[in-house]
A and B are shown apart, each in its own frame.
Chain A
Amino acid sequence: MADVAAHITGTVWKIEVKVGQTVSAGDTLVILESMKMEMPVESPEGGTVAEIRCRESQPVNEGDVLVVLR
């Protein structure tokens, strides 16, 4: 169980997972874009994607929860 948050302020460029998908630690969940740089948000642990709390091209702040794992 983990809330995966944005580590930088930016825009959601791409969501790489779907609800219900199984992920391993280190898998890319979301790619953020900030200041012309793409930065992957990786899964801190293995689990199942329970919820996606962002959509592509949405601006997010550092600390905003993007994905909830179960």
Chain B
Amino acid sequence: MFTKLLIANRGEIARRINRVAQRMGISTVAVYSDADASLPFVREATQAVRIGPPPPKSSYLDIAALIEAARTTGAEAVHPGYGFVSENPEFARACTEAGLVFVGPPPEAMERIKDKSQVRKRVQEAGVPIVPGSDGVVPDSRSAAQEAERIGFPVLCKAAGGGGGIGMAVANNQAVLEKVFRQCVDRARAAFGREGVYLERYFEAPRHIEVQLLGDRRGRIVHLLERECSIQRRHQKVVEEAPSPFFAGGARAEMAEQMFQAAIRAGKALQYQNAGTVEFLVADGSFYFIEVNARLQVEHPITELTTGVDLIGWQLRLAAGEELDIDQYQVSRTGAAIEFRIYAEDPIKFLPSPGTITRFRAPSGEGVRLDAGYEEGNTVTPYYDPLIAKLIVAAPTRPQAIERSTRALEAFSIQGLQTNLPLHRRIAQDPAFRAGQLDTAFLERHAKP
């Protein structure tokens, strides 16, 4: 195992990686931009290095600055967290070239996963059901029109190099498609530096269920069961839980097992290593592969709390060359866990609300875990994502987890800026949520003020 780890991220995830690493006896290096100098993740690391001004491209996305920070501090490995450089094969390669261990899959696997349209092909060849869509990238709007006719409206335009909901747009008819297709191509070029756009059938209200994988260098892959992440706004997750109410208590056991096996097949087809997630949509009684996230997920704690597997600990061990000593039959789940993403945004229109936290009173209690990036007095700036904290609540059963969540959300107080806490309180009370009736259009119909 390495003795010093550089954490190329910020906020709650930097803090969390730091805690796991220090517990394993690894000393840590935080990197920070000028906007983040007073945040807890900087103070808590063994060492901290300023890497640049606030804009991400001059700091957390600056590969040269990150590598230089690792070099000057003598770090042996780099954990990228999620977002920023975590899915950038160029960064992984730069680490390897500088003699650093990148905590994640090898750059070749990252490259394979980067092109979502290629990934669709590969996993389909491995027998994984994919969302009906275009055969690869669509070259122009005329072909887009033909493909859409074949797939059937509504269709979803997706940037092949995209992620996090950026570069996606729905078209209900040919006229809209023509406009949306062009916008998508432009957006893909501007945001991801590549033009490729492909089409998929758009499901109005599917469930979003994903499977956690861990893989080692020998090519062994195990899955750590599923998470349901259907409650979203703007294609970004807001509440996640494990198990999925769709599969809980042994419901649809056959389909669940098929999904787990499909996830493993996808992982093997992509020669995946380290921690990764295979995302599926569930609609009309079937499941369809959407994509692989080649990194730690924001919502990984609900898997940790229900399976007892330390995902970040395993990421570090796998990166250090250790082999998986978990057999698939040993993976089991106890209880239920729910994660609420506390965002700095208004709870109705979901518009960003940066500002200074004048009061921060976190809940505590049995089964309540809080992964927060900020504390009282800190400023949430407009430069990075709006995640202030993740409230993660575990209990022996889902109804108990919801009861504990309701109390924890009531007790949680953040002042000085707007947060989506009121939205979470409404979700926890919502009859459809309590009944486990979830889909990606949930927030359009439920938990209204």
A10 and B352 contacting across the interface, CB-CB below 8 Å: yes
B351 and A9 contacting across the interface, CB-CB below 8 Å: no
A55 vs B344: C-alpha distance when bound (angstroms): 26
Q: Is A34 an interface residue (CB 8 A)?
A: yes
A37 and B55 contacting across the interface, CB-CB below 8 Å: no
A37 vs B350: C-alpha distance when bound (angstroms): 10
Q: Is B345 an interface residue (CB 8 A)?
A: yes
Among the stretches B68-76, B94-102, B364-372, B380-388, the one at the interface with A is: B380-388
User: Cβ of B354: which chain A residues have Cβ within 8 Å of it?
Assistant: 9-10, 34-35
User: Cβ of A59: which chain B residues have Cβ within 8 Å of it?
Assistant: 382
Q: Which residue of A10, A33, A35, A39 contacts B344 across the interface (Cβ within 8 Å)?
A: A35
* Chain B: interface size category: 10 to 19
Q: In whole Å, how far is A11's beta carbon from the nearest beta carbon of chain B?
A: 7
User: Cβ of B344: which chain A residues have Cβ within 8 Å of it?
Assistant: 35
Question: Which residues of chain B from 343 to 397 have any CB-CB distance to chain A below 8 Å in the complex?
Answer: 344-345, 351-354, 382-386
A40 vs B345: C-alpha distance when bound (angstroms): 17
A8 vs B345: C-alpha distance when bound (angstroms): 11
Q: In whole Å, how far is A15's beta carbon from the nearest beta carbon of chain B?
A: 14
Interface residue total, chain A, C-beta cutoff 8 A: 13
User: Cβ of A57: which chain B residues have Cβ within 8 Å of it?
Assistant: 55
A27 vs B176: C-alpha distance when bound (angstroms): 18
CB nearest to A59 among chain B residues? B382
CB nearest to A8 among chain B residues? B352
Q: In whole Å, how far is A18's beta carbon from the nearest beta carbon of chain B?
A: 18
What is the 8 Å Cβ interface bit string for chain A, positions 22-41, against chain B (1 contact, 0 not)?
A: 00000000000111110100
User: Cβ of B384: which chain A residues have Cβ within 8 Å of it?
Assistant: 35-36
A48 vs B353: C-alpha distance when bound (angstroms): 31
Q: In whole Å, how far is B88's beta carbon from the nearest beta carbon of chain A?
A: 16
A36 vs B235: C-alpha distance when bound (angstroms): 13
Q: In whole Å, how far is A67's beta carbon from the nearest beta carbon of chain B?
A: 19
Q: Which residue of A7, A11, A35, A39 contacts B386 across the interface (Cβ within 8 Å)?
A: A35
B234 and A37 contacting across the interface, CB-CB below 8 Å: yes
B352 and A11 contacting across the interface, CB-CB below 8 Å: no
Q: A8-B351, A10-B382 are in contact. List 15 more A-B contacts (CB 8 A).
A: A7-B351, A8-B352, A9-B354, A9-B382, A10-B352, A10-B354, A11-B382, A33-B382, A34-B352, A34-B382, A35-B354, A35-B383, A36-B385, A37-B386, A39-B351
